[in-house]
Amino acid sequence: MGSPKPRIEEPHTQVAVAPPAPEACAELLEDEALGTEAYAALDRMVGATLARATGGLSPAALTLALVDWSLHLAVAPGKRAELLDKAFRKTARFMAHVTQTLAAPETPPCIAPLPGDNRYRAPEWSKPPFSFWSQGFLLTQQWWHNAMHEVPGVSPHHEDVVAFVARQMLDVFSPSNFPLTNPLVVKRMMETGGANFWQGYRNWLEDATRKASGQPPASAELFKPGRDVAVTPGKVVLRNDLIELIQYSPATADVKAEPILIVPAWIMKYYILDLSPENSLIRRLVESGRTVFCISWRNPTAKDRDLALDDYRRKGVLAALDAINSIVPDQKIHATGYCLGGTLLSITAAAMARAGDDRLASLTLLAAQIDFTQPGELGLFVDDSQMHFLDSMMWDKGYLSATQMAGAFELLRSNDLIWSREVGDHLMGERRIVTDLMAWNADSTRMPYRMHSEYLRSLYLENEFTGGRLMVDGRPALFQNIRAPMFVVSTERDHVAPWRSVYKAHDFAEADLTFVLTSGGHNAGIVSDPREPKTHYRLALKHRDDLSLGPDEWVMRTHEQAGSWWTAWIDWLDAHSPDAAPPPAMGSAAFPPICDAPGTYVFQR
């Protein structure tokens, strides 16, 4: 064998590779971003299509809730045994009631409707066979409530969702919704010879036609802004692409030196606080010697899809404050926010405090939440899955339509806002007497895509404001930084901003806070005409250094007062702004009057 040949290593040749040009990198990144956006757009298109078919409700969210409940119920033999026991007990209870009622027709009912459920309050429901149907339904409803709640292991949100869906399905089959099982409809049929059904059909046809054509409900035209409502005299002194600012004409020889700014919610028209003259909080303030300004929001369209929540802060609240400073110089301002407007005002006030801006003399919040850990039943429509659907719908249209929002609010109070109307208008053949508040409720607005998405994600889902993570101008806006005294109003039957959630302002306030719990709901409780004999409220002041109380303990320690909270608020304002002065001019050189109140934005459809 020969010796192996030596292996000759060839020299390595290094080839210099030129780095890609910056323009090429930018193009690659741009192409990648466009590709990602295209995929996301496809998902949004599918989501928007599904949302149109489901009325905006996410099938995934409902399925997850149902699966969570059913799987945990399947592995909870104790809960199933409890439900079986309750079913036997309720059946025996119902049969005993039937037997006793047949022997003694005056036998009292075995179960009473829940508070606020007025379907079975009429005396006719106490007589057989109608009493049997109503009692059987209420017992069934109670059993399903037990079945939906306290299943071990189910997440609270999913529990609320399945309970809500079960309640909606049960309400469909309520005996009050069918002509032959509702004694009031049967009575009406006997009185009219069946003509009520013909009139009910005509009412239904008119309602369907109005809804299809985008017209307001019947008789809503009786309350036209500027003629019947929103008639407090004033001038529009500022108009930009988001708001009109109304300055109201003085009604007294002298006024309190410090003016009031009202920031209403932009989900509806501003004039809920300026309804009919006898039902107008703004008129009451003006007549008590106040200089009042109010924001009227523009109704956004698809072109406004990119309006952000911060635009509402800058072009809305801050722009209004700047105009008021020009018209009433050298005076602090009592800022008042209602519902979403109160949340926005709180964020604005917190950012102002961080920046050392002390223009606010006080802060009043009306049915407004700052903490969203307990958002109430609206939280049923806000989770990650539902947010994808809402985002897709708004991305597709550029806004959330008024009809979609109205549908969600109606579902929260379906007995009052859906079924009672169906029975009264379409089975009884009657028409409800439309009030100024009801007409206003039909005058809703749209919500721009970006703003509403930011609002729901940052506040409802992430609770960034009270969590200290909401950034304004690059710095966190903290409610704790506000030092102006506060007046916070909540309502007992609020389904939008539950009063215990509103009460959480106590947990974050570092200023004196006067809290009011008044009768009524989210709207009717705020519109509290002092002439109404049934109104009442509770009120207590918490100084900055006082010990905190829980909401239920607060109720026990306060006493109920008859009357309207309006009077208490005006007295509170008087105590915090004692100086009087001649009324300021209407507008200023920088902000001259543009037109008469109520302006032009209030008429936008």
pLDDT tens string 72-92:
999 999 999 999 999 999 999
Q: How far is Cα 232 from Cα 234, in angstroms, rounded to an integer?
A: 7
Distance from chain centroid for Cα 517? 18
Q: In one letter, which amino acid is 594?
A: I
Q: Quick check: is 255 in a domain?
A: yes
* pLDDT range class, residue 23, cuts 50, 70, 90: low
Indicate whether 357 belongs to any domain: yes
CATH of the domain at 500: 3.40.50.1820
Co-location of 172 and 241 in the same domain:
no
Residue 1 pLDDT > 50: no
Query: What pLDDT, on a 0 to 100 scale, did the predictor assign at position 433?
Result: 83
Average pLDDT over residues 179-197: 95
In a domain, 105, yes or no: yes
Q: Which of 151, 167, 186 corresponds to the end of one domain?
A: 186
Q: Which helix (H) or strand (E) holds 562?
A: strand 561-562
β-strand pairing of 513-518 with 486-491: parallel
Q: Kindly state the tokens that stand for 596.
A: 């008469």
pLDDT for 28: 57
Strands 260-263 and 333-338: what pairing? parallel
Least trusted range by pLDDT, from 64-78, 331-345, 442-456: 442-456
Q: What tokens appear for 120 in the block?
A: 């079975």
- Residue appearing with tokens 């939440």: 369
**What's the CA gap between 538 and 509, in Å, rounded?**
19
Residue 403 dihedral angles phi and psi, to the nearest 5°:
-65, -35
- Work out the pLDDT band at 9, boundaries 50, 70, 90: very low
Those residues whose C-beta lies under 8 Å from the C-beta of residue 445, and which sit 6 or more positions away, are 266, 267, 268, 269, 297, 299, 300, 402, 604
93 within some domain: yes
Determine contact, residues 536/411, Cβ cutoff 8 Å. no
Which of 121, 155, 186 terminates a domain? The answer is 186
Q: Residue range 508-530: average pLDDT? A: 94
CB of 408 within 8 A of CB of 54? no
Please indicate, yes or no, if residue 220 is contained in any of the structural domains: no
CA distance 328 to 247: 11
Place of tokens 């000759």: 8
Does position 93 have pLDDT exceeding 50, yes or no?
yes
Q: Are residues 308 and 167 in the same domain?
A: no
42 part of a folded domain:
no
Give dist(CA 56, CA 450) in Å, integer. Answer: 17
What pLDDT was estimated at residue 94? 96
User: Mean pLDDT over residues 179-192, rounded?
Assistant: 95
In angstroms, the CA 426 to CA 373 distance is: 40
pLDDT above 90 covers a percentage of the chain that reads 72
pLDDT beyond 60 at 18: no
Q: Where does 380-455 show beta strands of DSSP type E?
A: 399-400, 447-448
Which of 48-57, 145-154, 447-456 bottoms out in mean pLDDT, i.e. has the lowest? 48-57
- pLDDT attached to residue 489: 98
| 471 domain-assigned | yes
Most confident of the following: 160-169, 373-382, 595-604: 595-604
- Of 387, 397, 371, give the one whose Cα is nearest residue 456: 387
Above 70 in pLDDT, residue 33?
A: no
pTM for this predicted structure: 0.89
**Is pLDDT at 26 greater than 70 in this prediction?**
no
DSSP per residue over 488-549, as a string? EEEETT-SSS-HHHHTTHHHH--S-EEEEEESS-TTTTTS--TT-TT-EEEEEEE-TTSPP-
The three-state secondary structure class of 268 is: strand
Closest Cα to residue 495, out of 571, 416, 433, 423? 416
Q: pLDDT-derived band of residue 49, with 50, 70 and 90 as boundaries?
A: confident
What average pLDDT does this structure show over 400-410?
74
Radius of gyration of the chain (CA): 30
What is the arithmetic mean of pLDDT over 535-549?
Answer: 95
What pLDDT is attached to residue 21?
59
In a shared domain, residues 150 and 255: no
pLDDT over 50 (residue 168): yes
Looking at the structure, do residues 495 and 361 belong to the same domain, yes or no? yes
- Contact (CB, 8 A) for 354 and 481: yes
Claim to verify: residue 581 and residue 507 sit in the same structural domain: yes
Q: Determine which of 136-140, 151-155, 228-232, 493-497 has the lowest per-residue pLDDT on average.
A: 493-497
Select the more confidently predicted residue: 47 or 67.
67
Pair 470, 576 in one domain: yes
- Asked whether the predicted pLDDT for residue 6 surpasses 80, the reply is no
- Looking at the structure, tell me whether residues 501 and 560 fall in a common domain: yes
pLDDT for position 602? 96
Using the 3D structure, point to which of 130, 164, 186 is the last residue of a domain.
186
Are 242 and 158 members of one domain?
Answer: no
pLDDT for 540 beyond 80: yes
How many structural domains does the chain have? 2
pLDDT at 229 over 60: yes
Per the structure, the complete domain to which residue 175 belongs is given by 62-186
Mean pLDDT of 404-418: 74
Q: What is the pLDDT of residue 413?
A: 75
Same domain as 240, residue 153? no
How many Å apart are CA 32 and CA 38, to the nearest integer?
10
Strand partners, 518: 491, 537
At CB < 8 A and 24+ separation, what contacts does 121-127 make?
122/183, 122/184, 124/183, 124/184, 124/187, 125/183, 127/183
Contact 426, 176 (CB under 8 A): no
182 with 251, same domain?
Answer: no
Q: Highest-confidence range of 33-47, 411-425, 479-493, by mean pLDDT?
A: 479-493
Q: Are 336 and 366 in contact (CB under 8 A)?
A: yes
What distance in Å separates the CA atoms of residue 379 and residue 568, rounded to the nearest whole number? 32
Residues 139 and 268 in one domain: no
Q: Is the pLDDT of residue 518 over 50?
A: yes
Which of 158, 140, 138 shows the shortest CA–CA distance to 149? Answer: 158
Is residue 23 a part of any domain in this protein?
Answer: no
Amino acid at 4: P
pLDDT of residue 51: 74
pLDDT for position 402: 73
Distance CA 408, CA 389 (A): 14
Q: Which residues are catalytic?
A: 339
- Bond prior to 129 in cis (omega within 30° of 0): yes
**Residue 397: its pLDDT value, please?**
87
SS3 content of the chain, % helix, strand, coil (to 5): 50, 10, 40
Tell whether the model's pLDDT for residue 67 goes beyond 60: yes
* Pair 89, 97: CB distance under 8 Å: no
Please check whether residues 473 and 557 belong to one and the same domain: yes
In this prediction, what percent of the chain has a pLDDT beyond 70? 94
Residue 363: pLDDT over 80: yes
